[in-house]
Structure 1
Amino acid sequence: MTDARISYGKLSVPVHLVRGERLLAADVSMEVLGQSFLPAYTEGDNSAVVATDTMKNVILRRAHEYDGATLDGLLYDLGRGFLATYPEMEGLRLWAVQQPWIAETGRLFRRVDGDHDVVELELSQTGGEIALVDHRAGHLGLRLLKTTGSAFTKFARDDDTTLPERGDRPLFIHLDVRWRYGNIADAIGEDRVPSEEILALVLSTFDAFVSESIQHLVHEMGTRLLAAFPALSQVSFRGENHTYDPVPGAEDAEPLSKTYTSAFPAYGLITLALDR
């Protein structure tokens, strides 16, 4: 028989943890790793298979029992519980996509579909010993616009270049930010960096830094994040340029009285990964 790499799991289990005035809401997914399940594929033998419906029930029960406040901690608790209960599982990948609720009052939350946190982690077990082997977190789906404080000049020009240089422009980007830890244990320990602090630094950099390009901007964001949070070993960015075009005739208007329209639907892509 040819070599086989197998996995199976349960996707997008909705969990809403209401703890007083705090809400932790996410869609939780998991993928089970282990060759013990191969007979289910090759022989139809399901004796070692944990049904995905059982996985859903365990996720919900253990989420109810979780008394922490972070998605990282929730996934770590779920993963350890599964591996301790089902030794035939050699490893697990778990990930959570935050449901973006904004607290308005102590009991009122407003759903704003858009940017949100994500967490991914992987655990393994050997001889009953459970280890956290990988972790990544991020904040995805940011839509950021600033009306001034961005330039794009002195770029390469040839006969196909029609884009004018702009010493100051409105900048509208779609941005995903991800990060990793040098010591994976920090992801669920005291040195964990709250995503709110990472987001705050990204936003303040976007606001205050006068960039010469989006490349220049994301590099500054990454440099500041690594300097501010020593526990992080890598930050990475995926940015799309959706900057608006000036309306014809509006270029010569007063500095604070410009008019723009949506750009051509194709967009530029910028990525960066900075390792410590």
Structure 2
Amino acid sequence: MSTLAAARYGKDNVRVYKVHRDEKTGEQSVCEMTVCVLLEGDIETSYTKADNSVVVATDSIKNTIYITAKQQPVNPPELFGSILGTHFIQKYSHIHAAHVHIVTHRWVRMQVDGKPHPHSFVKDSPETRDVQVDVVEGKGISINSSIQGLTVLKSTGSQFWGFVRDEYTTLKETWDRILSTDVAANWQWRQFTGLAEVRTHADKFNPAWEAARAITLKTFAEDNSASVQATMYLMGEKILAAAPLVDTVEYALPNNHYFEVDLSWHKGTKNTGKDAEVYAPQSNPNGLIKCTVGRSGGKPKL
């Protein structure tokens, strides 16, 4: 005997591009997103009894995303996701939860002759701004915002010493090393009661993202890092201080290694320690360090 333990379905990889035209100034702004919407509710019979009468077609979900993007603001994405998710649980009485994931792709206004161009943009990196919005009937709206794919490197200002040494240890201690990582940072907002409350705080989402990004870059650059662990915790503390409605901040930072190349075999060439200039970038294996920083009284999710 079997039973359906859990089910959700929807439309993934919906590509959306929206342009806003300022008729007064002639300036335009653009937003490109990849959207996924998954629905939950009284849909068991579509799985267990081949009953499609409870299925909102995924093509209809796609069309709803486009229509909502036309009728509603897409920026900030936290608000757009909340509008989308709320629509589905209000429109269809048998749908009780909507899970919306939005990836906003990075387009930066082009500088031409030292001035911002009114309608030209450049994609300067694969970095994205991601949002997960979960709208659950009777429970409110949960929002998680994140930075993904932000690659950073500094050529000095990083140390790693004093770690456990035993029969398995070959790594040498260092007081000066290259530090590089691909930033994956996310922050969990406190639970919102519904769309009305999200709208009330809509002006806080963009400043929080800007602060999180700026804090990440500034702390990475300026902290004389004792370890990735110490630096990422400092980042989390600062983001919590800057965004009072955020409950937790989570980082996942791979340690992208750059190893010295010993060239002493070639005519005694010095290229290690203080003489190191040429390095070999490593693709794997790499260290991976994670942490969740919460406000006092809360337990970290590890």
The residue aligned with 1:115 is: 127
Counterparts in 2 of 1:46 and 1:64: CA distance versus 1, 3 Å: same
Checking the alignment, whether the CA contact within 8 Å between 2:45 and 2:51 is kept in structure 1 is yes
C-alpha displacement at 1:223, in angstroms?
1.3
154-163 vs 57-66, which deviates more? 154-163
Identity rate, percent: 28
**TM-score (norm: length of structure 1):** 0.90
Q: Does residue 25 of structure 1 match 2:32?
A: yes
Q: C-alpha offsets along residues 83-141 of structure 1, whole Å, 9 cap, x if unaligned?
A: 22222211111110112222212211223452211100111235xxxx53322110011
The within-5 A match list for 1:1-276 is: 2-20=3-21, 21-34=28-41, 36-104=42-110, 105-112=117-124, 114-126=126-138, 132-184=140-192, 188=199, 189=201, 190-192=203-205, 193-248=207-262, 249-253=270-274, 258-263=277-282, 265-276=284-295
Counterpart code for 1:17: K
Unmatched runs of 5 consecutive residues or more in structure 1 = none
C-alpha displacement at 1:151, in angstroms?
0.5
Helix, strand or coil for the counterpart of 1:28? strand
C-alpha displacement at 1:211, in angstroms?
1.0
C-alpha displacement at 1:198, in angstroms?
0.9
Counterparts in 2 of 1:187 and 1:259: CA distance versus 1, 3 Å: farther
Q: C-alpha offsets along residues 139-189 of structure 1, whole Å, 9 cap, x if unaligned?
A: 011211011111011112223322221111111112200101234367651
C-alpha displacement at 1:47, in angstroms?
1.5
Counterpart code for 2:226: E
The residue aligned with 2:266 is: none
CA distance in 2, matches of 1:251, 1:143: 25
83-92 vs 48-57, which deviates more? 83-92
CA distance in 2, matches of 1:179, 1:55: 27
CA RMSD of aligned residues (A): 2.0
Helix, strand or coil for the counterpart of 1:96? strand
Equivalent pairs counted in the alignment come to 269
Counterparts in 2 of 1:269 and 1:204: CA distance versus 1, 3 Å: same
CA distance in 2, matches of 1:78, 1:108: 29
Helix, strand or coil for the counterpart of 1:184? coil
150-159 vs 109-118, which deviates more? 109-118
Helix, strand or coil for the counterpart of 2:240? helix
Helix, strand or coil for the counterpart of 1:235? strand
**TM-score (norm: length of structure 2):** 0.83
Counterpart code for 1:260: Y
CA distance in 1, matches of 2:204, 2:282: 42
Checking the alignment, whether the CA contact within 8 Å between 1:32 and 1:93 is kept in structure 2 is yes
Counterparts in 2 of 1:217 and 1:86: CA distance versus 1, 3 Å: same
CA distance in 1, matches of 2:140, 2:13: 22
